[in-house]
Structure 1
C-alpha cells in the first residue's frame, strides 16, 4: 500500500509539473504573438553605412555636412591611448565640427557612466553624438542620446518604447566586429549595485549612420577578435533559428554565418589581413541587422548573467554558452540548424553544433567559465530564465534546462 501511495504521489507530482509547464509555454506563446504584433508598429529601420578602407573620413565629413557643430565622442580610454580615436577623428580636420571626447566608458556600461556622459554633453552644448568603440561605447551613446530628450532617471527608460522622442543625431564607428550595435535600436545597460543587466530599446535609438573601416580593426588583439567574432556568430544563429521570421533577418543571418566561418580564423591568426577584417565587419553589421528584426535568444539570456555577475566579456560569454544552448534547442530547432549545416558544407544539426565547437577551439575560446561558482548558479539560473521568457527562441528554456547548461559551463576546480 505504501509503495502504491508513493507511486500515486509521484504520478500526481509529474502531472502537476506537466500542467504548470504547459501553462507556462502557452503563456509564453501568447506573449510572443503579442510582442510580434507590437513590433510591426515600430516600422522598419533605415540604414546608412560608410564602408571600406578610410571610410571613417567619409563619416566625419557626412556628420559635418549635416550641420552637427559640436559632437560628443563616446569612447574608452584604451582606444584614446592607442591613437585609434585620434585616427578616426582626423576626418573632422578642416570641417566646422568640434569634438568633445568622453572616454569614461567601461565594459558593460552602467547607469552611472551614462549619467556622466550626459552631463558632459549638456555642459559643452553638444548637438550630436559619435560612438567610437565596441558595443559598450555604442550602447552608452544611445542611452546618453535618449537622456537628452527624456530628462530624468535613465532607469525609467528600461524596456521597449519608453524613449519615444527623437534623440540628437547619433553616429557609430565600431572598432570591433561583433556586437552589431551599430545596426540595432537597443542598448544594454548594467546597474552597478544590483549587477542586473537591462535593455533600453525603441524605434529612435538606431544610429543615423555607421561606418565600418577595416583599417581601424587591424590592431585588434586575437582574443578580442575571437570573442567579438563569436558574438556576431551568436547573433546570426539566434536570429536564424528564431520563431519570428521578419523582413530579411534570415537572409542577413545566413550571409553573416557564411562569412564568419570563413573569415574569423583568418582575422584571428592574421590580424593585419584587411580582407578578413572587412569581411568580419560586414558580417557583424548584417548580424546586427538580423537581431534588430527578431531579437536574440537563450544564449544571450544566460550570457548576460555571466557578464553582470562576474564581468565576463559579452562576446566571450556568448561563445562559451552557444554550443550548449544549441544542443538544448535541438528538439525544436533541428530543421533550422540542419539548414545552417548545409550552408557551411555539413549535413546535420549535430554536425553544425560540432562545427561551432571547432570554431571556438580554433580561436581559443574556453569550454568552461572559470569565474562561475556553484553557489551562484541558482540566482544566475533564475535571472536567465526570466530574461529568456521575453525572447523568441525556438526552445522554451526552463529551470532544469538552464541548470544543465550552467553545470556544463562550471569548471571542474569549482
Structure 2
C-alpha cells in the first residue's frame, strides 16, 4: 500500500529563527537573554528618537542592567553606511561583545550592518566592496544580536538588511542603494514587548502594521509557500484582522497585533527562499522612487496587486479568504475587499495620487524597478510580472 499524496505538496523547510520571547514587560528580562548568549557588554543601537525617549530606552537600560555597554542612538530612516561605521567605531571604543537592536526596520538594518562591520578584519575592504557592488560582505564570527522591535513591520526575523551611501556622506563616489544578506544575519534572540510597541506614534505604527500584515497575505499565495508557513501565516492574519483596526481607537490591542506579527513573519526569510512576493516588490519599487514608508506603499497597491493575481491564477484565494474571515460568493473579491478594509482602518492612503512624492509620470519607472525586483520570482507561475503588466496595476492604484 502507498500513502495518497499529491507530488506538488513536497517541500523542504530550512528555518533557524531567533529564540523568541514575548510578554508584557518582557524587555526587563533582556539581561537574562544576554547572559544566555554570553554577552557581558552590549551596545544598544537605536534611532535618534527611540534611543533618547525615556519610555522606550529606560526599560531597555534596566533590562540589560550591568550588561549594558552603551547606547548608539544615531540611526535614521536612510540606513546609511556612515552611520553603521560610526556605530562600529562606538562598539570598538566601548569594548562591546554583542548588540541589541532597538526600534523599527531602520535601526535593525543598521544594527545588522554594524554587526557585519565589527566582524571584519579589514573593514575598509568591506566598505570598498559595498561601494563597488552594493553588497556589504558578511563574514563569519558575527557577534550575538538581540532585536527588540517597537513596530509591527515584521522584519525582525530576517536574513538581510538594507544599506545606503551617498558621496555627500563619504566612502562612495556615486549613490549606492544596496544591503547585506546571509543566513548568519538571523538574530540570536528577539524580545517582543507590547509596552514598547505602545510607545510608537500611531501614524508610524499603522504604516508598519500594513507591511507586517502583507507578509501574512503573501506567505499564503507565494509559490514558495509551505504547509508550515500556511499555518503560521493563517493564524497570524486571523489575529491581525481583528487587532489592527483597534490601533487608532481608544483601546488598542497591541498584544494581539504583536503576536500576529510574530506569526506572519515566521518562516518568511529562509536560506532557501522567501515567501515575500508581488506586494513587497511593489513596495520596493515605490520606495525607490519616492520617500515613503513601505506600509504606505503597500496600502495603496496591495488590493490592486491581489486583483491582478486573482485575474490570472487561483492564488489560493479560498485559503486567504478563510484566514481573513471572508464569507463571500466570490472569495477573490472578498479577499481584495478585506485587505482594503484593513488599509482603511489603519488610516493609510487608498490611492497613489494621495501619497506625497509619487508622480504619475514616474509610474513606468516604478513598474520597471518592480519587475526587476528579485521577489517577483516568488509570484505564482502564470501571473504577468513584466513592466507593462505591472504599470497597469500601478495605473489602477493611481
Equivalent residue runs for 1:117-132 within 5 Å: 117-132=87-102
Question: 107, 116, 119: which one pairs with 1:137?
Answer: 107
Structure 2: how far apart are the matches of 1:154 and 1:257? 40
Residue 346 (structure 1) aligned with residue 327 (structure 2): yes
Query: CA separation in 2, counterparts of 1:379 and 1:153?
Result: 31
1:192–1:257 distance in 2 versus 1, CA, 3 Å: farther
Q: Do the aligned residues in 1 keep the contact of 2:326 with 2:334 (CA within 8 Å)?
A: no
Residue 268 of structure 2 is matched in structure 1 by: 291
The structure richer in helix per residue is 1
Match of 2:305 among 325, 329, 333: 325
Aligned residue number for residue 359 of structure 1: 342
2:356 is equivalent to residue 373 of structure 1? no
Alpha-carbon distance, 1:362 to partner: 1.7
1:49 pairs with 2:24: no
2:286 alignment partner, one of 306, 314, 319: 306
**Secondary structure of 2:239's match?**
helix
Q: SS where residue 129 of structure 1 aligns?
A: strand
- Gaps of at least 5 residues in structure 1 are 1-36
State the partner residue of 1:174. Answer: 149
Which residue in the other structure is 1:408 paired with? 396
The 5 Å alignment of 1:126-205 reads 126-150=96-120, 151=123, 152-154=125-127, 156=129, 163-178=138-153, 180-192=154-166, 197-205=177-185
Task: Indicate how the Cα distance of structure 1 residues 190 and 328 shifts in structure 2: closer, same or farther if over 3 A, else same.
Answer: farther
**Could you list the per-position Cα deviations for residues 7-36 of structure 1 after superposition, in whole angstroms to 9, with x for gaps in the alignment?**
xxxxxxxxxxxxxxxxxxxxxxxxxxxxxx
288-297 or 363-372: bigger deviation: 288-297
The number of aligned residues is 366
Q: Separation in 2 of the partners of 1:195 and 1:328?
A: 34
Task: Please state how far the C-alpha of 1:284 moved relative to its aligned partner.
Answer: 1.4
Q: Deviation digits for residues 65-116 of structure 1, max 9, x if unmatched?
A: 53312211111111133211122221123x3x13321111111412232222
Map residues 2-41 of structure 1 onto 2, 5 A cutoff. none
Taking structure 2 as the reference length, what is the TM-score of the superposition? 0.84
Q: CA deviation at 1:195?
A: 6.7
- 1:61 lines up with 2:32 in the alignment: yes
- Retained in 2: the 8 A contact 1:72–1:126? yes
2:156·2:190 contact (CA, 8 Å) conserved in 1? yes
Q: 1:5 is matched with which residue? A: none
**Alpha-carbon displacement from aligned partner over 1:377-411 (angstroms, at most 9, x marks no partner):** 3332222111146531123411112211222343x
Mean Cα displacement is larger for which, 62-71 or 99-108?
62-71
TM-score, normalised to structure 1, is 0.81
2:386 to 395, 398, 403: 398
- 1:323 and 1:121 mapped to 2: Cα distance? 44
Query: Aligned residue for 2:245?
Result: 265
Distance change (3 Å), C-alpha of 1:286 and 1:62: same
**Higher Cα radius of gyration:** 1
1:76 to 47, 53, 77: 47
Are 1:323 and 1:357, in contact at CA under 8 Å, matched by a contact in 2?
Answer: yes
Matched, 1:227 2:207: yes
User: C-alpha root-mean-square deviation of aligned residues, in Å?
Assistant: 2.6
- Gaps of at least 5 residues in structure 2 are 1-9, 168-173
